[in-house]
Structure 1
Amino acid sequence: MPERDDEEREFDIKWADGAEHKEPSARARMLAARWKENPPGPVPFRGEPEHTASRRSSGRSSGRSSSWVSTAVVLGCVAAVIVFLGYIDFRPY
């Protein structure tokens, strides 16, 4: 019996995939209805994320320099751990 169910299910999938007209999803229907009354405005290809825009408006520097600062902080922490472990290893008991 399970084999017959699999065959029927496969037939149904092939039948559904071969349909000439496919109904849009509920989200697509909702957006189409919303945009019919209130069409969306133009959107730039790569819009600036909101959190980046607020960071720049507060007077901070761009994200490029902050990535160097965070890299320097991480490398400094790694160097401090290496020095600390070396100090523990060479300390007389």
Structure 2
Amino acid sequence: MAQQDDEEREFDLRWADQAEHKEPSARARMLAARWKENPPDPAPFRADPGPVAPRRSPWLSTALVMGCVAAVILLLGYIQTRSGTR
């Protein structure tokens, strides 16, 4: 029974979370060692985005969609009149 208590204590996560000192992850240790020799360049928290292409007018998109809808309506009307006369 003492062995079972030892296993429970070993894998008790609450006990581990209450530890005063926590070892950093392997990645954190690797980056710390790398940056000690060659520190990274300073960068702002949110870097400025690159140049942005000018946006087209929303009316241009609306006119294009309405033109396509009108063309489809005219095409369907033309097909209907051609098939109705025969």
Number of aligned positions between the proteins: 71
Question: What does the per-residue CA deviation read over 1:8-37, in whole Å, with 9 as the maximum and x for residues that have no partner?
Answer: 5xx622222222211111111111001111
Match of 1:80 in 2: 67
Structure-2 residue corresponding to 1:60: none
Quote the residue 2:46 is aligned against.
Answer: 46
Structure 1: any 5+ residue segments left out of the alignment?
1-7, 57-62
Q: Residues 20-79 of structure 1, C-alpha deviation per residue, up to 9 Å, x if partnerless? A: 211111111111001111112221343234xx3xxx5xxxxxx262xx228566434422
In 2, distance between residues paired with 1:35 and 1:24? 15
Q: Secondary structure at the match of 2:56?
A: helix
CA distance in 2, matches of 1:71, 1:77: 10
- Tell me how far apart the structure 2 counterparts of residues 18 and 70 of structure 1 sit (CA, whole Å): 59
Question: Paired residue for 1:5?
Answer: none
Q: Provide structure 2 residue ranges, at least 5 long, that are not aligned to the other structure.
A: 1-7
Which protein has the larger Cα radius of gyration, Structure 1 or Structure 2? Answer: 2
Tell me the TM-score normalized by structure 1.
0.54
Identity in percent: 49
